[in-house]
Amino acid sequence: MNRLLDRIFTLPKQQRTMILGVVIVVLLALSYVFVYSARAARIADLSEQVRNATVERDKKKTLAANLPKLKQQLQQLDGMLKEALAQLPNQKEIPDLLSSISTKARESGLEILVFRPRAETPKDFYAEIPVDIIVKGGFHNVVAFFDEVGRLTRLVNMNNIEFKNPKANGDQMVMEASTSATTFRFLDEAERAKLAAAKGAKK
């Protein structure tokens, strides 16, 4: 090694400068290969991790900022669901509901000529239960009956209302009023599953 250095120092200055330049280039090349490139790969990996962590952090920040609003919306939806379910009786409550409707007719001073529930029609999560109703009495009594039914907590629609056979009875006009009342009931889980299976079989 000493001999090599002695020989290099005896060379002309231009050659010594050239050799020094080559040594520096070789050292830089080795440094790049063994140090910088490895670190560059590590830096790129860490940069990707930082980017992913930043994106995830921003997502969580957004969710955290919206959490009170989402909770409020959830409470509102729960309230709306409870309110809707309160208007849809289950199977056991239907007889009581129909009894309430007929009671409202009698309390309004009407004579019930027909009160006939028909076959229910299942929908996605509820069933429609139509009821043919014909009552007889004064016009104001009929209007009072419809108003009382409309005030029930349960949902009842009065459709196809017709008045016929008007007759004077003292100071009031007595007539027959017919309507198709439709009430609704909530389908339980088993009924919804059966309905979904039947729809699937048709498809």
Report the pLDDT value the prediction gives residue 57, as an integer from 0 to 100: 80
Report the pLDDT value the prediction gives residue 135, as an integer from 0 to 100: 92
> 91 pLDDT band (50/70/90 cuts)?
low
Q: Does the structure show a pLDDT above 70 at 128? A: yes
Q: Does the structure show a pLDDT above 80 at 131? A: yes
Report the pLDDT value the prediction gives residue 49, as an integer from 0 to 100: 75
Q: How far apart are CA 80 and CA 75, in angstroms?
A: 9
Report the pLDDT value the prediction gives residue 134, as an integer from 0 to 100: 93
Q: How far apart are CA 110 and CA 106, in angstroms?
A: 5
Residue 103, SS3?
helix
Full DSSP string of 118-131: ---EE-SSEEEEEE
Is 91:184 a contact under the CB 8 Å cutoff?
no
Query: In whole numbers, what is the pLDDT of the chain averaged over residues?
Result: 76
Q: Does the structure show a pLDDT above 90 at 194? A: no
> 64 pLDDT band (50/70/90 cuts)?
confident
Domain locations in the chain? 1-86, 91-192
Q: What is the maximum span of the chain, computed from C-alpha positions, in angstroms?
A: 145
Report the pLDDT value the prediction gives residue 132, as an integer from 0 to 100: 92
* CATH class for the domain made up of 91-192: alpha beta
> 37 pLDDT band (50/70/90 cuts)?
low
- By percentage, how much of the chain surpasses pLDDT 90? 7
What's the rounded mean pLDDT across residues 10-32? 63
Q: Does the structure show a pLDDT above 80 at 95? A: yes
Q: Does the structure show a pLDDT above 70 at 151? A: yes
Chain Cα centroid distance, residue 147: 34
More confident residue, 29 or 75: 75
Residue with tokens 């498809």: 203
Is 201:166 a contact under the CB 8 Å cutoff?
no
